[in-house]
Amino acid sequence: MTNNAKPFLKWAGGKKQLLEELDKRFPAELESGEITRYIEPFVGGGAVFFHVMNKFDFEDSHICDVNEELIVAYSVVKNDVEKLIEMLDSLQSLYYDTPDQEKEIFYYEIRDELNKGRNSFNYKKYNQKWIKRAAQLVFLNRTCYNGLFRVNSKGFFNVPFGRYKNPRILDAKNLRNVSDVLQNTQIHLGDFTICESLADENSFVYLDPPYRPLSRTSSFTSYSKDSFDDGEQFRLADFYRKIDAKGARLMLSNSDPKYENPEDDFFDEMYSRFNIDRVLARRNINSKGHKRGPVREIIVTNYQSVPKNPE
Ligand SMILES: C[S@@+](CC[C@H](N)C(=O)[O-])C[C@H]1O[C@@H](n2cnc3c(N)ncnc32)[C@H](O)[C@@H]1O
């Protein structure tokens, strides 16, 4: 389905910058239609998910993330997009009508409301309360500093106010496009391992886990209250081997520790049975502006991925 849906949330670790490199390495069976299912266990903002959905047809697709707020947002866009648009429209008008010096207060009121509701919120069962929460999340994502999602150890959203002049809070056309794409997509809340039973020989699985920090100072791995340490990377490699054995085509990306330390063979050893390509990408969220330069990434596939020349 091609409708140009694109991410509706700005998300740390977004893979927009890497799409060109991923494109060159997608399995040929995506073009031929032999692959009928798409699975993305770490969907985040969905830059890769929407890109793939715009390019290829599947019988069904599955997205998963451990972040509850993200799953609330996707579910609401899927099930109640018109009600969400209505709420965002009134939030946007209220925000624009608020005098500049009071916008910050407005922002913190919404942030407090979102955080206060967290402990009693039912993330397991879809209901109408999800719509307001999704609207608050989209609003905060558009008006907060750097447009990112970050929570503290208790899971509370703690990004400060962003001071943008007239941020676009509502993009109704894109939300409707996203909703259309999601009609054929199952949305799962939980750990990546819940995708194991979904993968079969007709599946393509793209895995984009939180980065392994390249240096001790550049650790942006706190998307959720549970961190993704080296032990988690081992657990993921185990999962990779399990779904490889089921015959699924797999593509995984991560930061390349070898770039900073040529002796660091962490991923080379972990994925020694598979193909590892090293590529250059730009990072798009980093709170320190001077660190926005290119970084090396690795792409691990379980099939021969001869990079296709764009010419
Ligand atoms: C690098 S981001 C994915 C970015 C995405 N590819 C994009 O382009 O926006 C990693 C995602 O993994 C999620 N995550 C972290 N630990 C997880 C786990 N154990 N199981 C599933 N998702 C997890 C985070 O919430 C985050 O959204």
Atom of ligand 1 nearest to the CA of 191: 20
Nearest to 299 by CA among 282, 283, 281, 275: 275
Q: For position 287, what pLDDT does the model report?
A: 42
Give the mean model confidence (pLDDT) for residues 214-237: 70
For the entire predicted model, the pTM comes to 0.92
Average pLDDT over residues 237-258: 96
**Could you read off the pLDDT of 273-303 as tens digits, one per residue?**
999 999 987 655 444 444 555 668 999 999 9
Q: Are 209 and 81 in contact (CB under 8 A)?
A: no
Residue nearest to atom 20 of ligand 1 (CA): 191
Mean pLDDT of the chain: 90
Q: Which two tokens stand for residue 277?
A: 């390509």
Neighbouring CB atoms inside 10 A of 113's CB total 12
What is the number of the ligand 1 atom nearest to the C-alpha of 67?
25
**Exposure of 272 in the CB half-sphere (CA atoms within 13 A):** 4
Amino acid occupying residue 236: L
> How many residues does this entry show for the chain?
311
In the CATH hierarchy, which top-level class contains the domain 75-170? mainly alpha
Q: Which residues of 223-236 are buried (b: 16+ CB within 10 A; e: fewer)?
A: bbeeebeeebbebb
- Please identify which residue in the block is written with the tokens 């899927």: 78
Which residues lie with the beta carbon below 6 Å from any ligand 1 atom?
A: 11, 13-15, 41-42, 44-48, 64-67, 191-192, 208-210, 223-224, 228
16-66+190-301 in CATH: which number?
3.40.50.150
Q: What is the CA(187)–ligand 1 centre distance, in A?
A: 14
Q: What residue ranges do the domains of the chain occupy?
A: 16-66+190-301, 75-170
Q: Which of 189, 174, 145, 157 is nearest to 287 (CA)?
A: 145
pLDDT tens digits, 117-168: 999 999 999 999 999 999 999 999 999 998 888 888 788 899 999 988 889 9
> What tokens were used for 55?
């390019």
258 or 144: whose pLDDT is higher? 144
Q: Residue 286: what pLDDT?
A: 46
Closest residue to atom 26 of ligand 1, CA basis = 44
Hey, what are 298's tokens?
Answer: 């690795």
Any idea which of 38-52, 71-85, 115-129, 215-229 has the lowest mean pLDDT? 215-229
Contact 206, 48 (CB under 8 A): yes
The pLDDT, as a whole number, for residue 308 is 67
CA 301 remoteness from chain centre: 19
Closest ligand 1 atom to residue 41 Cα is 21
Ligand 1 centroid to 62 CA: how many Å?
14
